[in-house]
A = this chain, B = another copy of it.
Amino acid sequence: MMTDKKPKNIFTQGAIAATFIADSIQKHSSNKSIGAHSIFLGQVRADVLNDKLVTAIEYTAFTEMVLPIMHTIREAIFAKYNLTCMHIYHSLGKVNSGEICLFVFTSSAHRAMAIDACEEVVERIKKELPIWGKELFENEAYQWKENK
């Protein structure tokens, strides 16, 4: 079990590239005790809200509060699930529709741990982290996102 004692940064400026995800997967090939990876990706939808098309979401966060909370979540997840590792990346700033804004990656020897941990982390990220999305429309207008 690998777990860090100091809060890790989870933020990345702008969208998360598919090539970054590939590199992250590739790096795990050297850990031969891993049998299962579970990955969740959040992608910005081009929703139509009141006849206006969402072209991007601009993310802001209270970083000084996010990182200690994320650290607590990480410790709780490692205590609860038998994971080999866990990686979390969330965008800040503008992410266009169709691009990736959240990347959660859990690995374990057997599938149940990785799958259950990944799902729980995604739920906790959405519920507990002080991060806000501003949905930007084609014409300068915007609307603050609300999580379901």
Contacts and interface: CB of A to CB of B under 8 A. Distances in A.
A33 to B, nearest CB: 6
Interface of A: 18-19, 21-23, 25-26, 28-46, 97-100, 107, 109-111, 115, 118-119, 122, 148
A103 to B, nearest CB: 10
A69 B145 CA distance: 41
Nearest to A46: B32
A116 B56 CA distance: 27
Contacts of A99: 29
B40 A38 contact: yes
Nearest to A22: B22
Given A32-B46, A36-B40, A38-B39, A25 B98 contact: no
Contacts of A31: 98
Nearest to A42: B36
Contacts of A98: 28-32
Contact of A41 (B36, B40, B43, B46): B36
Contact of A100 (B18, B25, B43, B118): B25
B45 A32 contact: yes
Nearest to A126: B111
Contacts of A18: 22-23, 25-26, 29
Contacts of A33: 45-46
A45 B33 CA distance: 5
